[in-house]
Amino acid sequence: MNFKIAVLPGDGIGPEVMAEGTQVLSQVARLYGFSVELEQGIVGGASIDAHGKPLIDPVLSLAKHSDAVLLGAMGGPKWDGLDYSIRPERALLALRQELGLFANLRPVKLFSALASASTLKREVVEGTDLLVVRELTGGIYFGQPKGITKLADGTERGVNTEVYTTPEIERIAHVAFRAAQKRRKKVTSVDKANVLEVTELWRKVVSRIHKNEGYAGIELEHILVDNCAMQLIRNPRQFDVLVTTNMFGDILTDEASVLAGSMGMLPSASLGEAGMGSSDVRRIGLYEPIHGSAPDIAGKGVANPIGTILSAALMLRYSLRLEEAAVCIEKAVDETITNGARTADLGGKLSTRQMTDEIIKYL
């Protein structure tokens, strides 16, 4: 088996942690008898510096013609003054749209050995194991009209539009319910239906899918986003699968990162129809840690590589369909953490490379 992987390191600490993630991936490939062809491209700020825009056509073509994409964080203060249309983050939005990646899966699982690294008490976070299913290609980040206009009196007006259609809600609901079937069989749908009509529709459609599409064995509850934000801190163990809109998912998963001890621990998978589990569709997906580019520590060799390494494990699971290899990485990370290895964000002293070397020992 040979797989072509597009490797897009991004900015800041992106290239550093990507080098470690691909090293682990190559090692696992040797252990399990498959090969990976890694082809690099530049995106985000690095692409702006080189080409004047965050995503150029050849890199988009590389992504489209690969089995999967490994992506690093993008952006940084250097590019903050640019127009929104050409900022580094636009590359990520374009990749999601062009690849048809509508479902973002963000697992938040606390390794028991890291309970003391969380800002919350051990008795609150111990046993946390949840999955956030975030809709990716609709909502306020893409809705029209949008923009800033100057009014007749000289003031300005900024507009973004939250829009969802029935099919967009239906397909993300199916992803959430199918994920719950393989977990603890509970879905929590997060909305703001008491105020926003668009999420009133969200709640109605999710309820209909649950009732009419064969998910009777799954428990469904609805929760308002402000209450959900509180409950994630108060009692995160109550959640199994959360499904929500693009913006709510963006915010809640950053909040949930403190449950795992560090944002540097968390991977994500962005999927299209491959997320439905069908064998007759393209497997392409985009895999990235949820942390930012952290320009303040870039080049110092202290970044936590685990988010990227676990993103590679998700790639093996969802795009390459190599479950045993994915579990191998996840178990190696667990054993490494259990045996005391820590980077600075977890209160330790290991460098990025040293942490990776420790993980490789347990593969």
> Is it the case that residue 95 has pLDDT exceeding 50?
yes
Residues 52 and 126 in one domain: no
Cα dist. 70→187, 222, 281, 353 in Å? 28, 33, 20, 19
Mean pLDDT value of segment 282-290 = 87
Cβ-Cβ contacts under 8 Å for 274 (sequence gap 6 or more): 281, 282, 283, 284, 285, 318, 319
Q: Would you state the pLDDT for residue 262? A: 84
Q: Looking at residue 30, what is its pLDDT?
A: 97
Q: For 129, how many CA atoms within 13 A lie in the half-sphere containing its CB?
A: 8
- Regarding whether 89 and 137 lie in a shared domain, the answer is no
| The pLDDT of residue 278 | 47
pLDDT at 279: 47
What is the extent of the structural domain holding 363? 1-102+262-363
**Boundary-marking domain end, from 260, 289, 319:** 260
Please give the positions annotated as active site: 141, 192, 226, 250, 254
Give the list of residues 6+ apart from residue 74 with CB closer than 8 angstroms, or none.
Answer: 10, 11, 14, 43, 44, 45, 54, 88, 89, 91, 92, 293
What are the tens digits of pLDDT across the range 107-133? 999 988 888 888 889 999 999 999 999
Token reading at 45: 């700020």
How far apart, in whole angstroms, are the C-alpha atoms of residue 100 and residue 167?
A: 14
Same domain, yes or no: 178 and 251: yes
Does residue 276 register a pLDDT over 50? no
Does residue 282 carry a pLDDT above 70? Answer: no
* Last residue of one domain, picked from the residues 208, 229, 260: 260
pLDDT per position as a tens digit, 211-229: 999 999 999 999 999 999 9
| Residue 279, φ and ψ in degrees, nearest 5 | -95, -10
C-alpha to C-alpha distances, 249 to 5, 10, 119, 174, 200, nearest whole angstrom: 27, 22, 21, 17, 17
Q: Report DSSP state, residue 293.
A: -
Q: Does residue 22 lie in a domain region?
A: yes
Same domain, 201 and 232: yes
Whether residues 222 and 149 share a domain: the answer is yes
In a domain, 113, yes or no: no
Question: How many Cα atoms occupy the beta-carbon half-sphere of 109 within 13 Å?
Answer: 15
pLDDT one-digit tens code per residue, 164-208: 999 999 999 999 999 999 999 999 999 999 999 999 999 999 999
Total of domains in the chain: 2
Last residue within a domain, chosen from 260, 292, 308: 260
Question: pTM of the entire structure?
Answer: 0.90
125 plus 256 within the same structural domain: yes
- Average pLDDT (320-349) is 95
Check residue 350 and give its pLDDT: 96
Joined together, the tokens standing for residue 105 give 């899966």
Q: What is the CATH number of the domain that holds 229?
A: 3.40.718.10
**pLDDT > 70: what percent of the chain?**
98
Q: What is the pLDDT of residues 12-32, one digit of tens each?
A: 999 999 999 999 999 999 999
